Amino acid sequence: MNEKAVIAPIQTSEGYWRGVLRRLSRDPVAMIAFAIILALILMAVFAPYIAPADPIRGSMLRRLRPIGTPGYPLGADELGRDMLSRLIYGGRLSLFMGLTPVLMAFVIGSGLGIFAGYVGGKINTVIMRTIDIFYAFPSVLLAVALSGALGAGITNALVSLTIVFVPQITRVAEAVTTQVRNRDYVEAARASGASGFTIVRVHVLGNVLSPIFVYATSLISVAMILASGLSFLGLGVKPPEPEWGLMLNTLRTAIYVNPMVAALPGAMIFITSISFNLLSDSLRSAMDVRQ
Amino acid sequence: MLLYALKRLVYMLPVALGVSLVCFMLVHITPGDPLTAVIPVDASAEVQAEMRAIYGFDKPLPVQYAIWLGKVMLGDLGTSIATGRAVLGEVMRAVGNTLMLAAVATMIGFFFGCLFGFVAGYFRNSPIDRIASLLSVLGVSVPHYWLGMVMVIIFSVQLNWLPATGAGPGGSTDWTWDWVHIRHLILPAITMSVIPMGVIARTVRALVAEILSQEFVHALAAKGLMDRGIFRHVVKNTAPTALAVMGLQLGYLLGGSILIETVFSWPGTGFLLNLAIFQRDLPLLQGTILVLAMFFVMLNLLVDVLQTALDPRIQRG
């Protein structure tokens, strides 16, 4: 349902979205953040064509080479693998692990929240009180608890992170839907005989999806940090796959030998997370969503 | 007021019960049961069944939950499979260390968060505001486990000013408030304080900017009140929300300390969680999560009630 749901408001209120894009394009911070994110995504997608070396195969003779070594522009890691290539390839899993949970939580959370907000009554109470329970855990703790119990691995980490973000999005979705549901135009539509489904599709979705979307984008930065954090703890991606959080973990002991190289993967996470944060902030003011 | 506190307490009970259910289920969403990790693979079926009966894993889940909850109420969180000691004792020892770290970090974060927030809100839309706001965005965007590593690289490896790991000399875990121990606290506490600093700075900036644009401030200025007098009004209006955010941040830090504790080998709950996860010690994992989550639930209640008490404008049903 959400493929359609996301597209619907664009078709019905083109003027609004054009205005948002215009405001965004005049915001230099947003444009820089967007350019960085685009570059990171392109880098991840075209990794095999850009990376100068194999990210997995290393050489024990060339362990922990410093930045600027000929043939190793960003040095070599603790197993003598080319850092530049590993950072480029690492973007694939790191971006995937950060974006997927937010996307899944956006789909599940908005579905659940809009449903709860629209039907109201007892069903709303049951859904929202259940959500409250998961909301009662600090995010990091819940993510670590779930993936710790499920065991390390990409799928388990994705499931855990999705469960962490669903309650947060559901709460926002429920709140805005409850507001919209009590508006006069919804009442008017109901009075003129529109079915519940039509009301949700035409009147509710178009008005609630943008605030939920903006909120979801603000979670991406947290998700990136958390996803890499799980790998950093050894709960996400497993070696020898390149992933920024995992690389940071395996390079931890190298800080005494080659600190600059050891700090590189974290810098990548930082750049990604701050770009998403800045873009989300700009998007919020461009869409004039107040929360 | 008391009535409101009681109402909140009653409302909290089902949430607390739900939290305990989630913690209980943690052990049961794993393939097999907690004993799978410890029973030898070649143990006979009878021995396995006997072991399960001893630990109660042969009963239906709701019954197991009821028994487990009854024990938890009496302070029995079970026995750690890895160490063979009572989980409650292990957790309580570790919680003290984590609480100290999180509390110091929250105080540092609160101080600088308020400072940046006030300055940014007061000089809103000026270059100073932009710099202070940038600092708070950096605070909420930085992967703090990486920041911890960078701090260690700068202050321990390069400058050799402060110790890189542990909570005391020679890996001792007995805390005393002397310089030898405080030295160990500085780097992890500053690293941890970056998150609440960013969040509090953002909140305070928004509040101050909003309050300053309200009519009563113009009225005060028109009345001839000096900036310092207006500042006092702004502080009074900001304090309840800022304190509430600070309280919640303390809870988030308590629950999220595992990443920082891993970087600095801090002997707190994060260390315990690490141990529990990699030894597949599910009772220890369950107990630690339960204690931390309950802390958070109660902290939420406390913050909510205190905020209502501090801010007479909030009338809640």
Supply the ipTM of this predicted assembly. 0.85
Q: Which of B23, B277, B282 to mutate to test the interface with A (most CBs of A within 10 A)?
A: B277
What share of chain B in percent tops pLDDT 70? Answer: 92
> Tell me: the pLDDT tens digits for B147-195?
999 998 888 888 878 777 777 666 666 677 777 777 888 889 999 999 8
Among A164-178, A191-205, B158-172, B203-217, which range has the highest average pLDDT?
A: A164-178
Q: Which of A1-5, A131-135, B103-107, B123-127 has the lowest mean pLDDT?
A: A1-5
**Chain B residue numbers touching A265 (CB-CB < 8 A):** 146
Question: For residue B295, is it within any domain?
Answer: no
Check which CATH number belongs to the domain holding B232 and give it. 1.10.3720.10
Structural domain of B237:
91-281
Q: B82 and chain A: CB distance < 8 Å anywhere?
A: no
Question: For residue B15, is it within any domain?
Answer: no
Instruction: Give Rg (Cα) of chain A.
Output: 22
What share of chain B in percent tops pLDDT 90? Answer: 14
pTM of the model: 0.86
How many domains are contained in chain B? 1
Structural domain of A272:
19-286
Question: For residue B286, is it within any domain?
Answer: no
Question: For residue B99, is it within any domain?
Answer: yes
Number of Cβ pairs closer than 8 Å across A and B?
135
Q: A248 and chain B: CB distance < 8 Å anywhere?
A: yes
Contact residues for B124 (Cβ-Cβ < 8 A; gap 6+): B205, B208, B209, B212
Check which CATH number belongs to the domain holding A167 and give it. 1.10.3720.10
Q: Which of A126, A134, A144, A156 to mutate to test the interface with B (most CBs of B within 10 A)?
A: A144
Q: What is the pLDDT of residue B317?
A: 43
Q: B27 and chain A: CB distance < 8 Å anywhere?
A: yes
Determine contact, residues A63/A76, Cβ cutoff 8 Å.
yes
Nearest to B143 among A133, A146, A270 (CB): A270
Determine contact, residues A210/A280, Cβ cutoff 8 Å.
no
Q: B177 and chain A: CB distance < 8 Å anywhere?
A: no
**Chain A residue numbers touching B14 (CB-CB < 8 A):** 129
Mean per-residue pLDDT of chain B? 83
CB contact under 8 A, A273 and B146: no
Q: What is the pLDDT of residue B173?
A: 64
Alpha carbon distance B26, B37 (integer Å) = 15
Per-residue 3-state assignment (H helix, E strand, C coil) for chain A = CHHHHHHHHHHHCHHHHHHHHHHHHCCHHHHHHHHHHHHHHHHHHCHHHHCCCCCCCCCHHHCCCCCCECCECCCECCCCCEHHHHHHHHHHHHHHHHHHHHHHHHHHHHHHHHHHHHHCHHHHHHHHHHHHHHHCCCHHHHHHHHHHHHCCCHHHHHHHHHHHHHHHHHHHHHHHHHHHHCCHHHHHHHHCCCCHHHHHHHHHHHHHHHHHHHHHHHHHHHHHHHHHHHHHCCCCCCCCCCCHHHHHHHCHHHHHCCHHHHHHHHHHHHHHHHHHHHHHHHHHHHHCCCC
Q: Is the pLDDT of residue B37 over 70?
A: no
Question: For residue A262, is it within any domain?
Answer: yes
CA atoms within 13 A of residue A283's CA, in its CB half-sphere = 18
Question: For residue B40, is it within any domain?
Answer: no
> Tell me: the pLDDT tens digits for A68-118?
777 777 777 777 788 888 899 999 999 999 999 999 999 999 999 999 988
Alpha carbon distance B140, B109 (integer Å) = 12
Question: For residue B9, is it within any domain?
Answer: no
Question: For residue B86, is it within any domain?
Answer: no
CB contact under 8 A, A139 and B15: no
Nearest to A149 among B29, B252, B278 (CB): B29
Q: B194 and chain A: CB distance < 8 Å anywhere?
A: no
State the average pLDDT over residues B52-73.
80
Q: B134 and chain A: CB distance < 8 Å anywhere?
A: no
Structure-block tokens of residue A250: 């395996």
> Tell me: the pLDDT tens digits for B272-294?
898 888 888 888 888 999 999 99
Q: A36 and chain B: CB distance < 8 Å anywhere?
A: no
Q: What is the pLDDT of residue B316?
A: 53
- Residues 238-297 on B with a CB inside 8 Å of A are 251-252, 254-256, 258-259, 262-263, 273-274, 276-278, 282, 285, 289, 292-293, 296-297
Question: For residue B68, is it within any domain?
Answer: no
How many domains are contained in chain A? 1
| Bigger pLDDT: B43 vs A12 | B43
**Chain B residue numbers touching A274 (CB-CB < 8 A):** 137-138, 141-142
By CB neighbour count within 10 A (0-12 exposed, 13-18 middle, 19+ buried), where does B19 fall? buried
